[in-house]
Structure 1
Amino acid sequence: MKKITQFENQKVLVLGLARSGEAAARLLSQLGAIVTVNDSKPFDENPMAQSLLEEGIKVICGNHPLELLDENFALMVKNPGIRYDNPMVEKALDKGIPVITEVELAYLVSEAPIIGITGSNGKTTTTTMIADVLNAGGKHALLSGNIGFPASEVVKTATKDDTLVMELSSFQLMGVRAFHPRMAVITNLMPTHIDYHGSFENYVAAKWHIQDQMTADDYLILNANQDLAKTLAQKTQATVVFFSTKEKVDGAYLEHGFLCFKGEKVMEASHLGIPGSHNIENALATIAVAKLSGIENNVIVDTLSAFGGVKHRLQKLGSINGVLFYNDSKSTNILATQKALSGFDNSKVILIAGGLDRGNEFDDLVGDIKGLKHMVILGESAPRVKRAADKASVAYCDASDVKDAAIRAFELASEGDVVLLSPANASWDMYPNFEVRGDEFIAAFEGLKGAQHD
């Protein structure tokens, strides 16, 4: 970590805790700043705030008092989830107080070069793929950012011989100024988080901050399947490298079943460890980063062939008596389940679906579930999911929860089949979040596997 002095004896307000705020507060304190933390959660319910107070950091909990900003702060480090129309943020900006997110803070002290990954879909999978390939190639990559490892925590022990592979959200990128990755990937850009940004144009602008400081010596990897990316490519100083599943580009592309880079075949697409057309895009982006980083083809092939996915995101759990199990609990909407199904032969799939009833029908899913071997349906939305199954002429049965669904699906499966949890629904009718739902599916798989060996 660089020893910088710009925060020494400077008053800094950390607005909002969670893991990134806690990490930022500790880093700033270590850099000599006079830190105040302000979090909405009451102090007696806030173990993070209690821990920071024990370390001598001032904490104010329970609300966001506007008068706090009269204390002449030199900087605000904002939790990415707090919107810019929050009164505290608005007042800070009105007073001329710079507002950043903790990834900017991490960049300022980082000795390690940064590879930044953003986009609407596929960020976590692509980030993990890239880190795995770089590590297999001896580059010592460290995961950080939105993937669950706060950058301002990871950066403390990172050296110039490491590489920070950083997943970045639009919320985080709105708060960067000097941030300068040596490589950046934008996986794709779809209308999302419009409630936060106000428009798709604002959302794209937030994502585009990733390349603000990049130069011709840096590589910006863009998805040529999207016309928007081709337009944006004209507006950067970085050297653009495209990836595409639809055309041959000066970069990474799919051609005759092979994943290629600049005229060279790297690996067969069918050898990827996880299915789905979207994962071919993720792999192509990874191959672009890997080749530009000097990784050998055999390392790329071995790593991507063995890649089993990110937990709860089309995660390959393994097989029982020739029946493959995939955990895609993160699929909380129809589009995500459509993408998951695109990687399989429907005639061999038993799909587990259903969850929170948001009032929407599942007509958009009908074409994608046609030909399924069977469905196991659960949750509040079961009647609506069943209507879609009826329209698709797919047989189905009921399950009481995910464990029951996994057992029933396995009973229906034969060697060569796939049991796929891809609910197309949020989990909150039965589970606190999709992770708990996915963990129950993993436990059910392990239980079934163990029972076969008893």
Structure 2
Amino acid sequence: MGTNENLSDKEILVLGYAKTGKSVAEFLVKQQANVTINDRGDLSQDPSVTLLLEDGVQIVDGGHPLELLDKHFDMIIKNPGIPYSIPFLQKAIEKNIPIYTDVELASRFSKASIIGITGSNGKTTTTSLLRELLTEREKGNAYLAGNIGIPTLDVINQATEDDDIVMELSSFQLAGTEQFHAEIAVITNIYEAHLDYHHTREEYAKAKLKILANQTQDDQIVYRYDNAELHHWVKEFKGQLIPFSIEIIDEFVRSHGAYVEGEWIYFKEEQIIPLSDIQIPGSHNVENVLAAVAVAKIKGVSNQEISNTVREYKGMRHRIQPVANVSGRSFYNDSKATNITATITALNSFKQPIRFIGGGLDRGNEFDELIPYLKNVSGAYLYGETKEKMAKAFKTAGVNTIELFDDLIEATSKAYREARQGEVVLLSPSCASWDQYQNFEIRGDVYIDTIEKLLLEEPYMDE
């Protein structure tokens, strides 16, 4: 729980506005800090900025001028997505100005316990399900926050000492922490991702593992035991180890964690729920459920409550989300798959032939890692900046139908028209959305809207 340090009259720069920056600025104003907002965009038409100006906040927009750093700042709270490599932050580092993200502030001021969830994949589903599980307790509320789309500083004033904040944490957010403390830390997995931001796999993993840095012996680390590298890393920290596993079931897992045996999920040798309770597809989601169940048991949720919640849980929007099942064709929205590993997970979730839709922002990587997982792909409909690169991988994999399009709507429309009975039409872009869409949510909504429109205008006429 936080220390509630005094920020009164501190000079604080909020770097990057948007949803997170707005919440940070509003929080700091309440703490009576002297706030300056800097954003590269034009903020003059934003009505929320007008209100902040009335509170004495200074605005510097239209770029990141280096001379702004000539003013003494006690700290910078930056938008997680802004890389440290930009000249402005490099100069701030040279001047030894502390640079944090909003989750650092939230941890320092929160009265509630923080349950932090991070990982290359699975963290959103785990976070969402866990919050649902914790609402079943008799005492205390559970609040969602963090990378799931709810700024952490918007919820900490609501949450009391009896509550938990279930916080999804990206590597971008964790990189900007120093004193952040999660009483329970969940690491779903760590693969290679976001190298355009972190530059090396080592730096990426280092950022993820900061979720454990300030834990004590009274805290818990819930982690994927089947990932040998992760199992090695977590031993270096102080928290109690709570593994979850579907592959390696040894005595340590049986006595300390959550695992699958036969058709059941167990926790510390106690039979909890049958696998048949899980309604979301894919073995990766079994792992997500294991992680959530482990935390739920630590927090005292009953087996019956766990069973009821898991049976009702249908997954997260934009994460292998069922859209429609019509005339023997199933449509899934996996717009949150912004990296190759997430797309591999989606491809492995289906045994049926797949009409695959993918593409997006070109981050400089190739897509050869997808090749071993494309055996079930009956057609590829690729769009955006990466379409040619992706096409090379699909051609190497022997996919016969490979078509290139300028945008998602065109690609989706063609996949819809060529889909056959017994097939899955899957949007799993494997890329960030920013070449054409502001975020993956908008991209997923465009896909859903296109499918729904096509079902009305061009219904299947199979006999």
* TM bucket normalised to smaller: 0.7 to 0.9
Counterparts of residues 222-301 of structure 1 (less than 5 Å): 222-248=223-249, 249=253, 250-301=256-307
Distance 1:441 1:68, change over 3 A: closer
Is 1:77 the equivalent of 2:77?
Answer: yes
Query: Which residue is 1:118 aligned to?
Result: 118
Is 1:349 the equivalent of 2:353?
Answer: yes
Shift of residue 395 of structure 1?
A: 5.8
Matched letter for residue 314 of structure 2? G
**TM-score (norm. length: structure 2):** 0.84
Q: Is the 8 A contact 1:16 1:39 kept in 2?
A: yes
- SS of 2:383's partner is coil
Distance 1:446 1:195, change over 3 A: closer
Q: Is the 8 A contact 1:312 1:327 kept in 2?
A: yes
Q: Is the 8 A contact 2:391 2:402 kept in 1?
A: no
Q: Is the 8 A contact 2:77 2:102 kept in 1?
A: yes
Shift of residue 324 of structure 1?
A: 3.4
Superimposed CA distance per residue, residues 225-275 of structure 1 (whole angstroms, 9 cap, x where no aligned partner): 122222223211111111112112120122224322111232333542221
Distance 1:183 1:447, change over 3 A: same
Matched letter for residue 352 of structure 1? F
- SS of 1:294's partner is coil
Query: Which residue is 1:208 aligned to?
Result: 209
> Separation in 2 of the partners of 1:128 and 1:97?
35
Q: Is the 8 A contact 2:184 2:219 kept in 1?
A: yes
- SS of 1:235's partner is coil
83-92 vs 279-288, which deviates more? 83-92
Shift of residue 390 of structure 1?
A: 6.3
Query: Which residue is 2:145 aligned to?
Result: 144
Shift of residue 356 of structure 1?
A: 4.4
Superimposed CA distance per residue, residues 112-149 of structure 1 (whole angstroms, 9 cap, x where no aligned partner): 11101112222222211211221244552211112211
- SS of 1:173's partner is helix
Q: What is the aligned-residue identity percentage?
A: 42
Distance 1:350 1:399, change over 3 A: farther
> Separation in 2 of the partners of 1:423 and 1:209?
29
Structure 1 residue runs without a partner (length 5+): none
> Separation in 2 of the partners of 1:94 and 1:66?
12
Distance 1:266 1:318, change over 3 A: farther
- SS of 2:44's partner is helix
Q: Is the 8 A contact 1:352 1:421 kept in 2?
A: yes
Q: Is the 8 A contact 2:224 2:244 kept in 1?
A: yes
Shift of residue 327 of structure 1?
A: 0.8
Matched letter for residue 63 of structure 1? G
Query: Which residue is 1:421 aligned to?
Result: 427
Shift of residue 393 of structure 1?
A: 6.0
Structure 2 residue runs without a partner (length 5+): none
Q: Is the 8 A contact 1:389 1:396 kept in 2?
A: no
Query: Which residue is 1:337 aligned to?
Result: 343
Q: Is the 8 A contact 2:2 2:107 kept in 1?
A: no
CA RMSD of aligned residues (A): 3.3
Query: Which residue is 1:368 aligned to?
Result: 373
Distance 1:28 1:120, change over 3 A: same
Q: Is the 8 A contact 1:352 1:405 kept in 2?
A: no
Distance 1:448 1:265, change over 3 A: farther
> Separation in 1 of the partners of 2:400 and 2:239?
52
Is 1:313 the equivalent of 2:354?
Answer: no
> Separation in 2 of the partners of 1:378 and 1:75?
44
68-77 vs 258-267, which deviates more? 68-77
Is 1:68 the equivalent of 2:68?
Answer: yes
Is 1:177 the equivalent of 2:178?
Answer: yes
> Separation in 1 of the partners of 2:216 and 2:110?
19
Is 1:379 the equivalent of 2:380?
Answer: no
Q: Is the 8 A contact 2:36 2:59 kept in 1?
A: yes
Matched letter for residue 261 of structure 1? F
Distance 1:363 1:151, change over 3 A: closer
> Separation in 2 of the partners of 1:49 and 1:416?
52
> Separation in 2 of the partners of 1:42 and 1:212?
38
Shift of residue 295 of structure 1?
A: 1.2
- SS of 1:190's partner is coil
Shift of residue 279 of structure 1?
A: 1.8
Query: Which residue is 2:197 aligned to?
Result: 196
44-53 vs 384-393, which deviates more? 384-393
Shift of residue 399 of structure 1?
A: 8.7
Matched letter for residue 234 of structure 1? K
| Count of matched residue positions in the alignment of Structure 1 and Structure 2 | 450
Distance 1:7 1:225, change over 3 A: same
> Separation in 2 of the partners of 1:72 and 1:406?
52
Superimposed CA distance per residue, residues 327-366 of structure 1 (whole angstroms, 9 cap, x where no aligned partner): 1123345433321121221xx3342324349598766544
Query: Which residue is 2:161 aligned to?
Result: 160
Q: Is the 8 A contact 1:276 1:341 kept in 2?
A: no
**TM-score (norm. length: structure 1):** 0.86
> Separation in 2 of the partners of 1:27 and 1:371?
50
